[in-house]
Structures are given as structure tokens and as C-alpha cells.
Chain A
């Protein structure tokens, strides 16, 4: 038994009791105790080496296994499912579309639960919504909207012109999300139960498009509910349940007024923040469609007949903002050097190759787009020249800090650090919580470089606002933007915006890393899910799923 104890304890771990036991055979004047002293090290114990080699063998086994398991194809036909589960990534924290920012709410609610005066199509053009038709006065100051007849909210209240008026007035009075976009708003009134007249103090080219977003949403003035947890609108779907960060269940409204009746009775939206979780959910059939699916992970669906994968166009711009008043970045040579130093094609390749290079502030789906990618091609030599002109060199390396929110992951920061290093810029990358970013960068403008995915559409106004966190103050751009908004001709407006965008890009006010294109993957048999713009506009009434 004593031998037993020695065997057990001699190389046991850690514990106080063990410690006691291990010390037991101390030399002592007591001969009996001394007699029991035995050498501790009893022969070679090869176990750890065996375990190590086992682990290494395991490693080898995994390296031979690529983790791809094909599935059998499924024939067309079969039953139409009465429920479809959609996997999305970013969950809205609450449903208060008037106060809570973020496109996750637009994506979920606009067009599905809430509806606006006008709507958008998948190419970002304005289409009729609650308003059947509208006309604009010659001087661009008076907009008259004619509402559809028989519109009902999901609580069966009729939607009248007065609801529209109250919604827009409430928006302006409460400074709700979208109110700042109704430039020159003067008044809105109901001339009869189906006609709304909106007047502006000065022409505003973007008004209709803005009304297709949050600014134009119409709420039931007689309904009282907690907007953070419930939603009552006139759209084709009713919000049945909302579990924050987890799921939303939408039920088709059987009494929906419009012609775009929902084709699937129940749609469950699940928020899968973890990319792997999302891919597994699609593969195992927990969700039938996934948007976005990380491009690098989409490859496993591409050659599989069970799944369809498609990239959609979008207006997401990954902007590397450069502080116009930063210690070093106020020097245009530094900003230009940074633009030359960045290899956009490599960035895009590392992300799977579906994104598109973007040379300026306006993406292809927005008015005023033109291809500006030729302005600053990848040219490290040129970057080094510009830096040395600005007074930096091997003895005096330029040190910059890149601050961005942790939602974008560390990869982009690592890559920028590596690329800028090659031209002699030391980048200190700080990845912070979004709220810290808001405080330091957005509010206090205390930064050199920052990285944000500006997903908003029609957001060129950022460059015409000298108080925005870019600290970009160019009178010519501001003037062009004002003109573009004030003109009543869409073509003129586009031309002026394009002109302004070229100046912003030339000034290297920022670098536009790429235009993020959302990859959507779905099970074969699913149809009608929007592919373009689906991160901000996801009408679900056409979605059907035919089980194989």
C-alpha cells in the first residue's frame, strides 16, 4: 500500500494534500522513517511523448481531411414550404425604427412591416409605395402624393392622409432617424383623405429617394404600442415575435391591402453572428437562405447542386477615413501616398474576390457614379516619393494610428499595417468597441486614420459637411453638392455629383478600399429572395421555397 501511495503521489499534481504526501519520506533521526526513503525518479516515463505523438498524428489526420462533405442532389418539384427561415448576420438591438440607428432595422422592417410613401426597387430607384402616383411642381417645391385606396394597417385601422402627415410631422419634431435628410422641409398637409401635399422651402433633388427610406415611413397615429418591441404597420407581414439577437418571426397578413401578397405564410429570421454558425446552419438546413455568407466560406456551396450562390450589388463603401485636420494627414501628400500604397486588388482577393474596387465616394448604385479607380493605382514607388517630399524617410518614419470598431475584424487592420509598412509608414492599429469609436473618432475627431463600412446610400452629403468626422472642408465640393441638390433635373444633379466626387477622390480625402458586395447563398428550390441591396432592403413577399 505504501508503494501504491508513492506511485500515486510521486508525480502527482498540485494539491496541498499531495504536497504533504510527497514530503513524507524526509530523512529523520528516526531510522524507521529513513529506511522508507526511496528514490523518487523511478525509471523513464514515456507517456507524455506518446501523447504528444498521438496529438501530432491527429494533426496529420486533420491535414489530410479538407472538411468538405458533398451532398446528394435533389430533384425539382416537391411541396411548397409554408415556412422559410432566413439567416442574417447583424441583429437589431430593438425595433424602434424612429430612434435606433443601423441598417438592420431598415432591412427587417421597411417594406415588410412598415411601408413608406414611396419605395425602392433592387436597383435603388424610387417606385410607388403607399402613394400610387405623385407629381412635383415646376419649381420643385411642392410634392403631391396620391395614396392607394383601401390601405389598412395590420390592426385593421385604415391608413389615411392624416397618418402620413402625423408621421412626417412627428419625425421632424422628434428629430427621429431620417429627419436630418429632409433638407428644406417646410410643411406637410392632407388636402383630402387620399392626398398629401409636402412643401419645401428650396428644391431638394433627393427628397423622393429619402422618403423611400425611414423618413417616409407611415405609422398608425391611433395605435399605441412599445416601438422597441412591437411593430404595427401596413406591410404584407405582421411581426409575430422578436427575440433580441436571436430571431424574428413574421406572419403573412391575411388582410394585406396590396397586390404583392406574401407567398410564404411564415418567415423566421435568425441572426447568426458567427460566420461558421451561419454556414453550418445553411448546410444543415436550419436556414434556407443566408445573407451575407462570408465569401471565403461560400466556396463550399459553389459546386454543390443543392445550393445557389450569388453576389449582389450594394452600396457598402469600406472607407479608410483620413483626418483632414490630423497632425500628419492634413498634408495632402501624405494622404495621397497612403492611397498609392494600398493594394486594393490584394485586399479584395483576400476577402474572396467578390468585392469591387471603388475609387471614390459614390458606388455604382447611387446617382453620380463614375469609375474613379484609375486615379490612384497601386504604386509604392510613388507613395515613397510623396512621403519623402512631405519630409518623411527612413530616419523619420511616419507613425499613424488607425482606429476602428471591432465589428470589422482584425484582418483589414493587419493587412493595411503590412501594406503601409512597405512604403515606410508605421501603423498602430487600435480596434475598439463601436461606442468607443463613436466617442473618439466620430464625436471628438481624435484620430489619424479610421475604417468604417459606410453602408448608407445617397450619402455624399458627408463630404459636403465640414463638421463630419472626416474633417474634410472643400468649398468647391460643398457648392457643387448644394447645386446638385437644388437642381430640378436629375441628369444635371448626377453630373454635378460626379464632378464633386472626382474632386473628393483627387484630394485623397479618404481611401475607398472596396465596394462590399454581399454574397447570398440559398438552398436550391428557394426563389424570390432579393440579392441586390439586401442588407438594407429585403422585401420578403416574393419568397417561396419548394422542398426537394
Chain B
């Protein structure tokens, strides 16, 4: 386990370094210049040069890279060239929308996916089975943009058929208005959660299906549990390591849906920040945000792997055996 952890950690650091280099280089070959964007159409070259100096764009590339990485490791994500705000604090503010949104979406997905998946796996009638199968496939095949639009058309206050929930923006005071803040996140969370939930449902069903046919559930039934009890108590528990992995990776992959939702529902979160900064060519902001996200997801992957190994009883058994050998 220790060796596994070490190897995984080293790879994590190496992957992060590689990605940081990739991000840095990708942002340097791009045409266009943030100083020119800022200076505007009728700018004399002196103004552009002065701005470029001010922004530190006249340093050599290796210098810029090293400065950036060393600051990043110290926890200083730099300052946006355009807004002169600390990127770390901006990310902090934006994350207050994005992370609750991811968590809510994930909550929706789990609440939908796991019970429905279990029900589907336990269903005996072929009709129910094929229905749940198709529902899962169709649910997972809808583009997030479209599901968001359909939700807006149905439930948005002001324009929807049943005007219930706000569909645009976040309260100006943020979480100081908890009710409104939560309401603003419901539709976006649903639009990402339903789609992801379909995937989780599909996964839960096949996993539990496997468990049902494994000896463990039979054993449980032999001990007097009903099939449902055995499936849920023993099967689900055995399936939990895999479910953890799936949930972790789901969180990583949800980010695209979240970014689409943020744009569609006009939420000032991390995703819309990233898209705007890319458009503005705000290099320090874009590179730090991208690296931060990459680090976050790589770390999530690491966490998932380790958790999986830790909670999988079979792996523990195998590990013990290894030691015994």
C-alpha cells in the first residue's frame, strides 16, 4: 500500500508538472496580446508597450514560467492583468457558486441514480427492466445545454410554463441570502444532475446485477434475508468501492455540464470566469485557473484511487495475502 501510494504521489506531481508546462506553452503560442486588447483600437504603440512592461510580458519565457510556478507553489496565484484582483480571491468567490452547484448536481444524480439503479436491478418484470434500461440510456444521451433549456422553458420564473424558480443569475449578496442563492442553483443542478444520474443509475444497476448473481447475496438469502435485503445490505456494500470511484470520476466529468449550466443560467462561477478570461486573453488568470483545476481533478483522481483501495474488502484481503506470501 505504501509503495502504491508513493508511486501514485510521484506520478501525481509529474503529471501536474507536465500539465503546467503544457498550459504555459499553449498560452504563449496563441496569437493576440492582452496589452493590445486593453489598449484598444486607436492605441498608439507607446501605450501598448507601456502596458506590456507593466504586466511583465517583456520577461523571457523561462523566467515567466519559473516565476509563475514558484508563486503558485507558495499559494500565490498571481493577479489578473485586467482587473488587478488577486486570482486566488476571485477563485474563492467564484468557487462559492461552482462547488455548491457541483455538490447539488451530484446530490441530484445520486438521489436519482442509486435508488433507481437498485430498483432496476431488483425489478423482475422484463418490461420494467427494459424500461429502466431505456430510461437510463435516454437520460444519459441528452445534451446538458438542451436539458437546461427544457428546464428553463418549463420552470423558469417569468418565462416558463410553470414559473417556479429563478433561472438567471445569482443573488448579488450571494450566500447572505441563502434561500435565494439555493433557489438560483436548483434548475442548473437539476439540468446537470439528471444526466449524470442516468449514468449512475446504469452503473448501479449493472453492478448490483453482478452482485445479485455472486455468491454473496445467495449466502445472505440462505441466512434468512429476503432477496431485496440481501441485495441492498450485502450487494450494495460490496459494490461501494466501485461506486466511490464512479462518483469521484463523475464529479470530474460533471464540470463540462456545470460550465454549460453556468453560462446558460448566468451564474458567475468558475466556469464562466474561465471562459471570459480565455476570451480576454488574461494570461495569468487563465493559466492559474487551468492549473488549479487540473490539480484539483488530478488530486480527486488520486483520492478516488486511494479510497477505492482502502475500502475494498477484497483488495484488503489480497493485500494481506501478499504480505503473508
Q: Do chains A and B touch in the complex (CB under 8 A)?
A: yes
Q: Report yes or no: A273 in contact with B206, Cβ–Cβ below 8 A.
A: no
**Given the complex of chains A and B, what is the CA–CA distance between A21 and B68 in angstroms?**
51
**Given the complex of chains A and B, what is the CA–CA distance between A21 and B207 in angstroms?**
11
In chain A, positions 21-54 with a C-beta closer than 8 Å to chain B are: 21, 42, 45, 47-48, 51
Across-interface contacts of A62 in B (CB, < 8 A) = 153
B92 on interface, CB distance cutoff 8 Å: no
Q: Report yes or no: B36 in contact with A443, Cβ–Cβ below 8 A.
A: yes
A254 on interface, CB distance cutoff 8 Å: no
Across-interface contacts of A63 in B (CB, < 8 A) = none
Q: Which of B31, B121, B134, B268 contacts A48 (CB 8 A)?
A: B134
Closest A-chain residue to B161, C-beta based? Answer: A65
The stretch of B11-19, B82-90, B250-258, B289-297 in contact with A is B82-90
Q: Report yes or no: A274 in contact with B266, Cβ–Cβ below 8 A.
A: yes
CB distance from B309 to the nearest CB of A (A): 19
Q: Which of A17, A69, A280, A435 contacts B207 (CB 8 A)?
A: A17
Q: Report yes or no: A280 in contact with B47, Cβ–Cβ below 8 A.
A: no
CB distance from B261 to the nearest CB of A (A): 12
Q: Report yes or no: B133 in contact with A11, Cβ–Cβ below 8 A.
A: yes
Q: Which of A2, A65, A226, A438 contacts B37 (CB 8 A)?
A: A438
Q: Report yes or no: B268 in contact with A243, Cβ–Cβ below 8 A.
A: yes
A304 on interface, CB distance cutoff 8 Å: no
Q: Report yes or no: A7 in contact with B126, Cβ–Cβ below 8 A.
A: yes
**A277-B134 contact, Cβ under 8 Å, with A8-B205, A247-B172:** no
Q: Report yes or no: A440 in contact with B40, Cβ–Cβ below 8 A.
A: no
Contact code string B47-87 (vs A, CB < 8 Å = 1, else 0): 10011000000000000000000000000000000111100
B219 on interface, CB distance cutoff 8 Å: no
Q: Which of B33, B44, B129, B263 contacts A438 (CB 8 A)?
A: B33
In chain B, positions 249-296 with a C-beta closer than 8 Å to chain A are: 263-266, 268, 272-273, 276, 279-282
Q: Report yes or no: B212 in contact with A5, Cβ–Cβ below 8 A.
A: yes
Q: Report yes or no: A100 in contact with B82, Cβ–Cβ below 8 A.
A: yes
A245 on interface, CB distance cutoff 8 Å: yes
Closest B-chain residue to A65, C-beta based? Answer: B161
Across-interface contacts of A96 in B (CB, < 8 A) = 84
Across-interface contacts of B156 in A (CB, < 8 A) = 280
B124 on interface, CB distance cutoff 8 Å: yes
Q: Report yes or no: B32 in contact with A438, Cβ–Cβ below 8 A.
A: yes
**A435-B32 contact, Cβ under 8 Å, with A229-B84, A280-B156, A280-B167:** yes
Across-interface contacts of A492 in B (CB, < 8 A) = none
Across-interface contacts of A279 in B (CB, < 8 A) = 159
**A93-B83 contact, Cβ under 8 Å, with A65-B161, A101-B38, A274-B264:** yes
**Given the complex of chains A and B, what is the CA–CA distance between A101 and B207 in angstroms?**
57
**A435-B37 contact, Cβ under 8 Å, with A175-B47, A229-B85:** yes
The stretch of A148-156, A201-209, A281-289, A373-381 in contact with B is A281-289
Q: Report yes or no: A439 in contact with B266, Cβ–Cβ below 8 A.
A: no
B168 on interface, CB distance cutoff 8 Å: yes
> Main secondary structure on chain B at its contact with chain A?
helix
B137 on interface, CB distance cutoff 8 Å: yes
Closest B-chain residue to A50, C-beta based? Answer: B134
**A12-B206 contact, Cβ under 8 Å, with A99-B51, A280-B158, A435-B37:** yes
**A101-B40 contact, Cβ under 8 Å, with A245-B273, A438-B33:** yes
**Given the complex of chains A and B, what is the CA–CA distance between A41 and B153 in angstroms?**
40
Q: Which of A2, A11, A246, A443 contacts B130 (CB 8 A)?
A: A11
**A433-B268 contact, Cβ under 8 Å, with A100-B38, A272-B168:** no
B166 on interface, CB distance cutoff 8 Å: yes
Across-interface contacts of A8 in B (CB, < 8 A) = 121, 129, 205-206, 209
**Given the complex of chains A and B, what is the CA–CA distance between A51 and B139 in angstroms?**
11
A327 on interface, CB distance cutoff 8 Å: no
Q: Report yes or no: A99 in contact with B168, Cβ–Cβ below 8 A.
A: no
Q: Report yes or no: A244 in contact with B33, Cβ–Cβ below 8 A.
A: no
Across-interface contacts of B44 in A (CB, < 8 A) = 175, 180
A270 on interface, CB distance cutoff 8 Å: yes
**Given the complex of chains A and B, what is the CA–CA distance between A283 and B51 in angstroms?**
42
Across-interface contacts of A273 in B (CB, < 8 A) = 266
Range, interface on chain A: 35 or more
Closest A-chain residue to B268, C-beta based? Answer: A246
**A281-B129 contact, Cβ under 8 Å, with A67-B153, A229-B84:** no
CB distance from B194 to the nearest CB of A (A): 15
CB distance from B247 to the nearest CB of A (A): 16
A177 on interface, CB distance cutoff 8 Å: yes
Q: Report yes or no: B202 in contact with A13, Cβ–Cβ below 8 A.
A: yes
Contact code string A157-176 (vs B, CB < 8 Å = 1, else 0): 00000000000000000111
CB distance from B208 to the nearest CB of A (A): 9
Across-interface contacts of B138 in A (CB, < 8 A) = 51
A325 on interface, CB distance cutoff 8 Å: no
Q: Report yes or no: A284 in contact with B168, Cβ–Cβ below 8 A.
A: yes
**A47-B130 contact, Cβ under 8 Å, with A13-B202, A94-B84:** yes
Closest A-chain residue to B132, C-beta based? Answer: A8
Q: Report yes or no: A5 in contact with B209, Cβ–Cβ below 8 A.
A: yes
**Given the complex of chains A and B, what is the CA–CA distance between A1 and B122 in angstroms?**
10
B237 on interface, CB distance cutoff 8 Å: no
**Given the complex of chains A and B, what is the CA–CA distance between A177 and B51 in angstroms?**
12
B107 on interface, CB distance cutoff 8 Å: no
Query: Which of B30, B166, B167, B172 counts the most chain A CB atoms within 10 A?
Result: B172
**Given the complex of chains A and B, what is the CA–CA distance between A7 and B212 in angstroms?**
13
**A270-B169 contact, Cβ under 8 Å, with A12-B206, A18-B206:** yes
**Given the complex of chains A and B, what is the CA–CA distance between A14 and B263 in angstroms?**
31
CB distance from B3 to the nearest CB of A (A): 26
Query: Which of A176, A229, A406, A434 counts the most chain B CB atoms within 10 A?
Result: A434
CB distance from A245 to the nearest CB of B (A): 5
Q: Report yes or no: B279 in contact with A434, Cβ–Cβ below 8 A.
A: yes
**Given the complex of chains A and B, what is the CA–CA distance between A30 and B303 in angstroms?**
44
A76 on interface, CB distance cutoff 8 Å: no
Q: Report yes or no: B31 in contact with A435, Cβ–Cβ below 8 A.
A: yes
Across-interface contacts of A286 in B (CB, < 8 A) = 166, 168-169
**A99-B137 contact, Cβ under 8 Å, with A12-B206, A245-B276:** no
Q: Report yes or no: A93 in contact with B157, Cβ–Cβ below 8 A.
A: no
Q: Report yes or no: B213 in contact with A1, Cβ–Cβ below 8 A.
A: yes
**Given the complex of chains A and B, what is the CA–CA distance between A276 and B124 in angstroms?**
46
Contact code string A386-410 (vs B, CB < 8 Å = 1, else 0): 0000000000000000000010000
Question: Which 3 A-B pairs give the minimum distances between C-beta atoms?
Answer: A101-B40, A435-B32, A284-B158
Given A12-B206, A280-B158, 12 additional A-B pairs, CB 8 A: A7-B126, A9-B206, A101-B37, A228-B84, A270-B169, A283-B158, A283-B159, A433-B281, A438-B36, A439-B33, A439-B36, A442-B41
7 CB contacts below 8 A, A to B, read A12-B205, A62-B153, A272-B168, A283-B158, A284-B157, A434-B32, A434-B37
A positions within 8 Å CB-CB of B: 1-2, 4-5, 7-9, 11-15, 17-18, 21, 42, 45, 47-48, 51, 62, 65, 67, 69, 93-94, 96, 99-102, 174-177, 180, 226, 228-229, 243-247, 249, 268, 270, 272-274, 276-277, 279-281, 283-286, 406, 433-436, 438-440, 442-443, 452, 456, 462
